[in-house]
Structure 1
Amino acid sequence: MTTPNTFPAIAGSLSQFDPQALPVSAAQAIVLQWVTPLAQGERVPLRDALARVLAADVISPIDVPAHDNSAMDGYAFDSAALARPAQTLTLTVAGKAFAGHPYTDAVASDRCVRIMTGAPIPVGCDTIVPQERVTIDACETDAPATISFAANAVAPGANRRRQGEDLARGGVALRAGRVLRASDIGLMASLGLVDVRVKRRLRVAYFSTGDELRSPGQPLDAGSIYDSNRYTLGAMLQRLNVEPIDLGVVRDDPEALTATLLQAAESADVVLTSGGVSVGEADFTRSQLQTLGDVSFWGLAMRPGRPLAFGRIWSGGRPGAGRAALLFGLPGNPVATMVSFYQIVRPALIAMSGATPQPMPLIPACCDAPIRKRAGRTEFQRGIAERDAQGQWRVTPTGSQSSGALSTMSEANCFIVLAHDAADLDAGDAVDIMLFDGLV
């Protein structure tokens, strides 16, 4: 981990920036340098392995396929027959081969075997002619049927899947650090594996702060509001398949906040708070972070999401004492919470889980409305994107860009990403968009 109370190596290049308004790219780099990937692993059944992170390479115990087999329904024969001078080949059908029911006799060069997809290729055969390219002469007597087809209908070795061509015994089927997908589960099942070693789930504690917050189902009294951030954070964490620890709502009281932070540091790898990191008289998260641990930065040149604290807290109540956990003090406004999570927190959680975070792709689009933008901060505006008749992406900002207007996140389907140095844009200007599909 990074030395307490110091920036990582990148810090020397950051002195030109106001620490209260750190550029987004710099903040992302610092966070990833503070991350230590999980070391512990566990074995889980394949059915429980989806979205888990591989703790070790998966080595194939068998060849895949396990034998040469047919890629389609047709007739298997010896390709030496293709060298005959005749333009049309005629072969006698010696029998049938099915997946699970192979033809076990050797096949002479003037014969063939009716074969189905996946069936082992019989001894003496190396080529399959598709059934739709042959003419069948079915005899009315007990004599075997024959087939005929043009000699140029197939090339030698056509439609033959070779043993081990997908995976060879002893080869690496999946690399450690991979987030397992449905296809990976199927691949491991095809190798006969019943379980797999994965990283343990990252434990993430989260809570909201504020005397005004009420949980859904409670009555609203004067000046109170329902707490949406805890539910939003819980849902975003669920998408990452971590182990969430919901610590509820913490009132605006330094002692209560300290107790909750120490509890979180003792039980979790990462702690997420929402609210309490601005400059209000009742905003205590930032000051408690300075007391209980190490502060890396607070405040980003980002909209929404400027008030964001990042560092490390210790369960013993002071730097170096007890168990350490990374802490992200997220802003209290709902949209700012989500933007901060996706742009700063999400990559860190992926890296701590043992995987390599991949940046979400930015897609070029034409903006159909003017956008006001102040240079010197990165903005993530909500937009509605669609393809036009020519297949090009076009985007329109949602009506409100208020960081408190959570409904606009539900209305939008993308972020319009406006770079740090960008200024006002006119209608028709090119922008980058980050689609919510795959993110939210």
Structure 2
Amino acid sequence: METVLVLVLFVLVPYTYMFVAASSSNGSTICDQYSRVCGPNGNCDEKKTCVCLDGFTPKSPTDYAYYLNFTQGCVRNTPLNCNTDVFVTYSALKEPSGGYSLSNREDCMGKCKSNCSCVAYMVTVGGGCKFWNGDLFDVRLVKQGGQDLYIRMAASEEQGKKQGRNEGVVVGIVVGGILVISIIIALWYILKKRTASRALENLRIGEIITHHTNVQKEDMGLPLFDLSRIVVATDNFSPNNKLGEGGFGPVYKGILDDGQQIAVKKLSSSSGQGLNEFKTEVKLIAKLQHRNLVKLLGCCIQQEEKLLIYEYMPNKSLDYFIFDEVRKSVLDWSKRFNIITGIAKGLLYLHHDSRLRIIHRDLKTSNILLDSKMEPKISDFGLARSFGGDQNKANTNRIVGTL
């Protein structure tokens, strides 16, 4: 209970004011609550999330895709050329903030085009023109009351889009038949390969893992990954794929040959916890099945490497959001409440409902991972302890954990 209370305070206290504001907005979205939440040239679409306008790409792709930080916004794919630029129509948009108006609506496009600093224009309801210079802010799709916005774009990019659409139709017809045949052959090959691979894994898992971890053969059931497959998935453990590092060792993002995203925890030769933590993770978490616990997909013990393969959590950990002044705004009240209850459900399962009674002993915000839907999952069981069904306390010989 103390652990849950600490996590509740971490999550809830910084959000007190924000919750009051959100409650009074009658169901308003994050686009309504925060000015410029999508950054320059960003568009809050019908899914209430930020995307770049056509012709623009995220200024920081990593923050945009993985960390839900949209404040840096988007930049143009192709620089403008005042003499050859064209205007692209965007329908049903809320009027961007800023801008300046002219009462005469005649030839709005011509007036904007002749002014090289004009990046967009709109024909207003009252019969005038409105122009914007520089970046566009607070652009949104709306179901009612939206207007047409004309945004300046390099002619080469617009031509490329038209040409790409025409070529795509031709290529799609030619390639379609080939793909159908290729898919049938590939499915047959993959099915055959997986059947053989699973038989090999079941044969090796009892021999290799039992030898390294002293886990009994009847406790097996954890898939064994080939090292070469993990090396390819992580681009040979490239620094660009490194997600972080803990007492066990570094953690890398990987993509398997079947497209599945994974997180690979690699035992470091200098790890202070090392093989004992590896044993504990294999022995305990492999037996746990709960939506609020991170899922262990398998392991790899080959050559000098000892690896644990987990499901990939695209939104990193809880501390990445709540301790950052910008990113914490992404956690609205409903998300925070869902995170709190999810952690509590995971702990209840560990303490009372699981096959083994388990005490985590290292529960902290960095060990609460968030999936693509911001669902919390408790991770890192290297310091956990299991207890018998009739035990309610135990002593430890050394200080471990964080709390």
When normalised by structure 1's length, the TM-score is 0.23
Bigger relative CO (Cα 8 Å, ≥ 6 apart): 1
| Bigger Rg, structure 1 or 2 | 1
TM-score normalised according to structure 2 size: 0.24
Structure with the higher fraction of residues in strand conformation? 1
